[in-house]
Amino acid sequence: MSVDRSYIAQNQASRTRLRALTERLSEADLGRPLEGGWTVAAALAHLAFWDRWGRILLEKWEREGFVPITADADLLNGALLDEWLAIPLRDAARLSLAAAEAIDRKLEAVAPELLDAIAAANPRGIVRATHRNEHLDQIERALAG
């Protein structure tokens, strides 16, 4: 199987959307509450974490070979929320964009065999746009209403 390379354009589009959003957010926007005790900035810090997690996994798999890793995202998100809320608002926005750029560049250069293995186990590992767009939609809804 060969992974459909359209993930590159999807990731790029979501990263462009993330950049446009973070550039226009005010401090008040970044501090705006979301559901469950989250804020816009915490959601951006969350995106940064999961994009960094993905990049670090890619680097591990390049060195050691692919072994699926399961993580309880809900538990990790719950454990990390206080840290994400403590990050300075502008830093959360900056970190989200830097992490998105880093994983997207990494994914563009990963060997096809590794991409195939990742895609078979978890397509969201490659199509970072899916996760980003979920939160970008959430943030835009909060800002609109």
3 state SS of 33: strand
Domain 6-144: CATH class, spelled out: mainly alpha
Contact 50, 131 (CB under 8 A): yes
Does pLDDT of 70 surpass 90? no
Contact 50, 69 (CB under 8 A): no
Summarize pLDDT for 23-33 with one digit per residue, the tens.
999 999 999 99
Does pLDDT of 75 surpass 90? yes
More confident residue, 135 or 6: 135
Spatial separation of the C-alpha atoms in residues 44 and 18, rounded to whole Å: 9
Local confidence band at 128 (pLDDT 50, 70, 90 cut-offs): very high
Contact 29, 40 (CB under 8 A): yes
Contact 99, 47 (CB under 8 A): yes
What is the number of alpha carbons within 13 Å of residue 43 lying toward its C-beta?
26
